[in-house]
Structure 1
Amino acid sequence: MEKKRRGLFQRFLDGVEFLGNKLPHPVTLFAILALAVILISAIVSATGVSVEHPGEDGGTVEVKNLLSAEGIQYIFESMVDNFIGFAPLGVVLATMLGIGIAERTGLISACLRGFVLSVPRSLVTLGLVFAGIMSSIASDAGYVVLPPLGAVIFAALGRHPLAGLAAAFAGVSAGFSANLFLSATDPMLGELTIDAAAVVDPAYAEGMNVAMNYYFIAASVFLLTIVGALVTEKIVEPRLGKYKGDYTEDLNGLEPIEKKGLIWAGVSLLAASAAFSLLILPPDAIMRGEGGKIVQSPFMSSLVPIIAILFFIPGLVYGKVTKTIRNDKDVADQLSDTMASMGMFIVLAFTAGQFVAYFTESNMGIVLGVLGAQFLESINLSGIPLIIGFMLVAGFINLFIGSASAKWAMMAPVFVPIMMQLGYSPELTQMAYRIADSSTNIITPLMTYFAIIIAFAQKYDKKMGIGTMISVMFPYSILFFVTWSLFLIVWMLLGIDLGPGSPITY
């Protein structure tokens, strides 16, 4: 019976992989979508469809024909601006300049190893999942550092190394939208959400900030840490059984030079944080807004460069202490390497930028938003069922399109206006998307780092394949999705803001 279940599940996974591989590359996909918007705008414009503008009294909106003379002129004249103006482009690249130094000098790796190795054995699983969740500060660095480290730790403790790898992978990937601090993901998705909200209500969008989900994602850290640890110890590790391989590992601590580097990096971080606090904490601080406001202030608008600086300074200090940085040429080389690694994102930004711009210019976002809201209202789907339905759709799409920013660039212009028309804030829509996206990352073969995780796992099990890896990670995905969704529902019922100045309702 067990073999039959494995066979059916394996065929299901084969089908997901087959269909996923049939999709074009995200760069190509956005180019196709941009062309589709141009063609559809011409067709819909010819039908004369119009709706009442949700943000204007009595105003009507029609779809603009991008194949008209005016539309074609716009396409060519705006192409460069669409690329440069793509919301996540500048914020991601600027943030990665700071994170890149911290990663390439070895600071992030040392921090993660030092934390996990300092945790008592009884709390190792909790510590590993927690470290994985917190590693999202460093964008994708956790994928490379934590899973192999988790396997090493479990092997050294006489536990199944694949259970350690799975716990770390679950923390890094499924917990990508939970953190005690803001990360590059927040401005990357936040800017897209703000742009989508501006289509319906520019005034509301002006009051939004990239920390719109901070309260919820910070609270989620503790929930996901507990759930991830329980799944590892109660489901995954018993299912894997006793490790019968011949691989053993001796766990080595931090080198003295690494410890010294961490100390000085911590001192520099505290000094930088103290300096920034002087710009915001005093009642008359220069980074406060009108009337001493903090939520709507230059400080909140400057989170991207602040995050970059708070990574750059400790990274630089750590590099100088550990000799991974000897002069300014080393700094320039490491910054250059970081930007080189962002090449695919930059190419993606070009085609995605065209799609987003064309979608906005054609007014299709407003029209679809109003019509979609009317449809959902007509079938009486609202409230919690609506949010859950949206999350299921987002999770399904994630099985085929791995990039969180790529998916949200495609979905935000459609779903944010729909949800706003039904009375739900853009901040809530973004958080629902982040839960669905993060929870399903670990079971999609098309996720960028999935192949790397399998390569790590094959060190301990030569026969490890896609189906086996997904079967190991599936319990994490299901229980993360269920418990995290319930947590969001409770949050909604209590009416607690999702972040600074970020309500549940619109």
Structure 2
Amino acid sequence: MGESATAQPRGILGWIERTGNRLPDPVFLFFWLIGGLIVISIIASLLGWSAAHPTEIDPETGAAQVIAAKSLLAAENIQKLWVEMPKTFTHFHPLGYVLVVMLGAGVAERAGLFGTAMRAGVRDAPKALLTPIIVAVGMMGNLAADAAYVVLIPLAGIIFHAAGRHPIAGIAAAFAGVSGGFSANLLPGQLDALLFGITEAAVETVFGDFTANIAGNWYFIAAMFAVFLPVIWYVTDKIIEPRLGTWDPARAGRPSDDEPSDRPLTGGERRGLRNAGFAVLAVVGLWLVFTFGPGTPLINEDATPEARLTPLYQSLVGGFFLLFLLAAWAYGRAAGTIGNHRDLVKMMSGSMEDLAYYLVLAFAAAHFVAMFTWSNLGLIMAVEGADALRSSGLPAWALLAGIIVLTGMLNLFVGSASAKWALLAPVMVPMLMLLGITPEMSTAAYRVGDGATNIITPLMVYFPLILIFCQRWQKDFGLGSLAATMLPYSVGLLVVGVALTIGWVVLDLPLGPGAQVFAPLPMGAEAAGAAVTS
């Protein structure tokens, strides 16, 4: 029997919950970090901390230019803070990426396309394949952002019950797919736009202009999908469901006649899904024409072979916007959820309202990243860290495995994927670049650690909601019960994710179109090891 939902959580999970609850909201966490950064920058400036810039060469001496730490209270930086505040916010790379993609994805969610697609994907699933289908739809459902949590997870409990299986096992499988497999997918989507926007900003803190490719982890996340699915399937069917036993309404504290039912798809919803599929094919066809048709507007014919596809990669943000928008329109018109263009505009406006908190978070994160750059501390820490790692002799796979574990531990205290990456990326990405590891590989390693522990921390924003879903079926199912149920998934996903990353690095496989694990050191990086500190 699970512990009472009102009982004070004990043990390591209770400590994590109590400690995490004492942390400030991520927005104020960034403001506190900015305050600490100001103090550190003053000390670093007074002590004369400096480093040899990895890419800039002094034309007179031929040596790497020495970059010194700057106080954030210096007149130059105070001026930047207040004069460039609008620019600092609006030029924060993740902001534009997320806003554009969400203009389309938000409409698809409001029109009902995402919810209906998930229902259609699981409600008629064969009993023998029920678990893997729900898990697969859950991982793909991450394209739908919050809709996967509020639609698929409770629906999985209903479907498992209808199949004569324990409904909480269905909820656990769906939760593991949606949240544990947060980055696993067959297609790039909103998360890729968000994370690679932060990665782009992190690279530019040291190496100047850099354009992120939001398809840079496509092959890797597809491989995550392939290896995570059997892990969640095995844990559900062989560990969790036998542990839960046969579901008995009386023993679970529910009246046997109080069972939710699944609503079948209407004719309009089925036509809407069909029309949405045609719309998706039309957008894909249009991009193929842009890429291979007359004039090849998405191919830079004059660039080097490595850079020829850069316009195509840069166009994917706009491509996903159009794909989601047209698919939503096609679905909504057939299903009756979109009456005319005014409904479409209203839904687009609503999707921007949903991003209100993200805009506040982005304002704080943008200034933290910018001020980190102005202080030169990011460069100094990256150079010093890269030099220490190089001296350690650790292979790349070991470094990346360590990053995965570190991210997983940090995820127990800071639930937001974007907030964690905004904290880690300014140091981690340039530091690994100095070791020849690409920004795409750094981002991929972060994603593995971020997803694996999502499902065991009570600080994850949807954790209480999942608990409520479980309590609909078993009244005394408490916080400890949910954490204990999800722990085997977390361990399995972390182990398999680390193994996948190690194998990927050792085999040096491409991470996505035009994205590799390793890249030549930036010009002058050989001088980076000669960092000078007082």
SS of 1:55's partner is: strand
1:254-273 residue pairs with structure 2 within 5 A?
Answer: 254-273=265-284
- Post-superposition CA distance 1:355-400 (Å, at most 9, x none): 0110111111100001112223344434322222111111111111
Q: Is the 8 A contact 1:295 1:501 kept in 2?
A: no
1:289-308 residue pairs with structure 2 within 5 A?
Answer: 289-291=300-302, 296-308=309-321
Q: Does 1:381 align with 2:394?
A: yes
Query: What is residue 81 of structure 1 aligned with on the other side?
Result: 87
Query: What is residue 20 of structure 1 aligned with on the other side?
Result: 20
Return the match for 1:227 from 220, 226, 231: 231
Query: What is residue 391 of structure 1 aligned with on the other side?
Result: 404
Query: What is residue 280 of structure 1 aligned with on the other side?
Result: 291
Q: Is the 8 A contact 1:369 1:414 kept in 2?
A: yes
- Post-superposition CA distance 1:65-104 (Å, at most 9, x none): 1111222111111222111112211111111110011111
Q: Does 1:131 align with 2:137?
A: yes
Query: What is residue 253 of structure 2 aligned with on the other side?
Result: none
Q: Is the 8 A contact 1:139 1:183 kept in 2?
A: no
Q: Does 1:356 align with 2:369?
A: yes
Query: What is residue 157 of structure 2 aligned with on the other side?
Result: 151
Comparing 239-248 with 164-173, greater Cα deviation is found at 239-248
Comparing 248-257 with 446-455, greater Cα deviation is found at 248-257
Return the match for 1:106 from 112, 116, 121: 112
- Post-superposition CA distance 1:91-118 (Å, at most 9, x none): 1111111001111111111111111124
Return the match for 2:337 from 324, 331, 334: 324
Query: What is residue 45 of structure 1 aligned with on the other side?
Result: 45
Q: Is the 8 A contact 2:41 2:71 kept in 1?
A: yes
Query: What is residue 438 of structure 2 aligned with on the other side?
Result: 425
Q: Is the 8 A contact 1:156 1:251 kept in 2?
A: no
Q: Distance in 2 between matches of 1:74 and 1:422?
A: 31
Return the match for 2:505 from 473, 492, 505: 492
- Post-superposition CA distance 1:244-287 (Å, at most 9, x none): 22354444421112111111221222222222221113374212
Q: CA deviation at 1:415?
A: 0.7
Q: CA deviation at 1:311?
A: 0.5
Q: Distance in 1 between matches of 2:394 and 2:29?
A: 30
SS of 2:290's partner is: coil
Q: Is the 8 A contact 2:398 2:502 kept in 1?
A: no
Q: Distance in 1 between matches of 2:476 and 2:187?
A: 38
Q: Does 1:116 align with 2:113?
A: no
Q: Distance in 1 between matches of 2:333 and 2:371?
A: 47
What TM-score do you get using the length of structure 1 for normalisation?
Answer: 0.95
Q: CA deviation at 1:316?
A: 1.0
Q: Is the 8 A contact 1:295 1:500 kept in 2?
A: no
Q: CA deviation at 1:9?
A: 9.0
**Relative contact order: is structure 1 or structure 2 higher (C-alpha 8 Å, sep ≥ 6)?**
2
SS of 2:67's partner is: strand
Instruction: Name the CA shift for 1:298/1:404 in 2 (closer, same or farther; >3 Å).
Output: same
Q: Distance in 1 between matches of 2:82 and 2:479?
A: 43
Return the match for 1:478 from 486, 491, 494: 491
Comparing 420-429 with 171-180, greater Cα deviation is found at 420-429
Q: CA deviation at 1:421?
A: 2.1
Q: CA deviation at 1:419?
A: 1.2
Identity %: 41
- Post-superposition CA distance 1:30-87 (Å, at most 9, x none): 1111222222111101100111111223211111111112221111112221111122
Letter in 2 for 1:151: G
Unaligned runs of 5+ in 1: none
- Post-superposition CA distance 1:217-260 (Å, at most 9, x none): 11221111111111100111111111122354444421112111
Q: Is the 8 A contact 1:94 1:308 kept in 2?
A: yes
Q: Distance in 2 between matches of 1:411 and 1:308?
A: 28
Unaligned runs of 5+ in 2: 58-63, 250-255, 520-534
Return the match for 2:463 from 427, 432, 450: 450
Q: Distance in 2 between matches of 1:78 and 1:502?
A: 33
1:245-260 residue pairs with structure 2 within 5 A?
Answer: 245=249, 246=256, 248-260=259-271
Letter in 2 for 1:290: E
Q: Is the 8 A contact 1:156 1:249 kept in 2?
A: no
Comparing 241-250 with 386-395, greater Cα deviation is found at 241-250
Letter in 1 for 2:287: F
Q: Is the 8 A contact 2:70 2:374 kept in 1?
A: yes
Return the match for 2:380 from 360, 367, 385: 367
SS of 1:52's partner is: strand
Q: Does 1:32 align with 2:43?
A: no
Q: Is the 8 A contact 2:9 2:479 kept in 1?
A: no
Letter in 1 for 2:311: P
Query: What is residue 243 of structure 1 aligned with on the other side?
Result: 247
Q: Does 1:168 align with 2:174?
A: yes
Q: Is the 8 A contact 1:39 1:67 kept in 2?
A: no
Pairwise CA RMSD? 2.0
Q: Distance in 2 between matches of 1:308 and 1:164?
A: 32
Q: Is the 8 A contact 2:93 2:200 kept in 1?
A: no
Letter in 1 for 2:110: R
Q: CA deviation at 1:296?
A: 3.2
Letter in 1 for 2:282: A
SS of 1:402's partner is: coil
Instruction: Name the CA shift for 1:163/1:295 in 2 (closer, same or farther; >3 Å).
Output: farther
Q: Distance in 2 between matches of 1:417 and 1:97?
A: 31
SS of 1:484's partner is: helix
Q: Distance in 2 between matches of 1:405 and 1:289?
A: 32
Q: Distance in 2 between matches of 1:295 and 1:118?
A: 45
Comparing 8-17 with 110-119, greater Cα deviation is found at 8-17
SS of 1:408's partner is: helix
What TM-score do you get using the length of structure 2 for normalisation?
Answer: 0.90
Letter in 2 for 1:262: L
